[in-house]
Amino acid sequence: MHHAILLVGDNISESNLPTEYKQAKTDVTHIIEPTLTIGQVRSFIDSVYLKPISDKFSVFVIETRNIPIEAQQALLKMLEEQQEHVRIFLIVPRADFLLSTVRSRLFYDKTLTMVRSKENVDFTAFLNSSIDERLKQVADRVKKKDLKWINDIVLGSERLAEASSVQNSKLLDEVVFVRSQIDTRGASKKMLLESLAISLPKKG
């Protein structure tokens, strides 16, 4: 098995990971963060140097939607110093926000790519709404702090942008920017989602 594997997809539960890695346990650690900060990467690196307790390998499954540049640089240093007793699975919705140097250290196994068949009802309804209706939904959901709805809208936008990236590179750029900012401290979710609401294809 490769030292570090890149999985492009949504989450752990919908992946084709071996069953024994889908549940956190001794020697299998899950790190699930909307944004993987440099502090979290440093903590992860500290754990990497610990020997496995009962198995041959220590397995780390990282599920995240964004990794700031400084955190990627710290992650890269660890990937370059491969530990024979460690196996890493990095799950991200897109690979294009990763530094090329980070991507070069990860093995991309298409057979382990996430299953993305689940219908996103909230996004479908959002996309089929007029811009005014979208803006009202954004104001209402952000006020209610409906994080699931917010994530569904961003996730649906990502999928749409991926499918139409050749025809609509501007939408792709907008979605990548929103995803990179939406979970950062001090970011205005309302303003970011409003921008997305206007950028998405119009109803009719």
- What pLDDT is recorded for position 185? 76
In single-letter form, the type of residue at position 3 comes to H
- pLDDT digit string (tens) for 71-124? 999 999 999 988 889 999 998 877 878 899 999 999 986 665 555 545 678 999
CA distances from 72 to 39, 160, 162, 164 (A): 11, 26, 22, 27
- What pLDDT is recorded for position 118? 55
* Spans in the chain with pLDDT lower than 70: 1, 16, 109-119, 164-168, 203-204
- What pLDDT is recorded for position 155? 83
User: Closest by alpha carbon to 29, among 54, 47, 3, 14?
Assistant: 47
In single-letter form, the type of residue at position 111 comes to T
Segment holding 66, helix H or strand E? strand 58-66
Q: For the chain, which domains are there?
A: 4-112 (3.40.50.300), 121-199 (no CATH)
- What pLDDT is recorded for position 108? 84
